[in-house]
Amino acid sequence: MKNTNRVMQSYGRCCASPGFFDDFYTTFLASSPAVREKFAQSDMAAQKHLLRAGILNLVLFARGMPDTKLRALGKSHSREGFDIHPQLYDIWLESLLQTIRQHDPELQQQDQLAWTEVLGKGIDIIKSYY
């Protein structure tokens, strides 16, 4: 199966699992004071909805969609914007993978590699705007 299809199916199972986005932010915020500092003033309920679409944008880009949305994310997260240092994306991805392992009951080793590869392409674009 193609990696992007593996990821779409796994993401479907995660979105159907109650608490997926709550648990992601619990893990991500617990991962580093630098992350907590960035979200200190944020409405986390709104942030969870935005993330749902954000992950989909990363997957759609890997499936061949133009990078327009990711370039916009790159600009909003750049040093002139939210100022998200490129290293923080490693923590983001590790927190996401940890949450996926908790919420996707059918996850296989190959699916985890697929997630890393598929999201990595889009994350590289976002980081490149820092």
Member of 35, 59, 62, 100 binding ligand HEM (CB under 6 A): 35
Binding mask 106-125 for ligand HEM (x = CB under 6 A): -----------------x--
Contact 114, 6 (CB under 8 A): yes
Q: Which lies closer to ligand HEM via its Cβ, residue 79 or residue 108?
A: 79
- Cβ–Cβ contacts within 10 Å for residue 103, how many? 20
2 or 36, CB closer to ligand HEM? 36
DSSP of 17-47: STTHHHHHHHHHHHH-HHHHHHTTT--HHHH
| Spatial contact of 38 and 82, defined as CB atoms under 8 Å apart | yes
Contacts (Cβ under 8 Å, ≥6 apart) of 22? 48
Asked if 128 interacts with ligand HEM (CB under 6 A), we say no
Stretch that binds ligand HEM, among 6-14, 15-23, 45-53, 104-112 (CB under 6 A): 45-53
Using CB under 6 A, list all residues that contact ligand HEM: 35, 38-39, 41-42, 47, 50-51, 54, 58, 73, 76-77, 82, 84, 88-89, 92, 123, 126
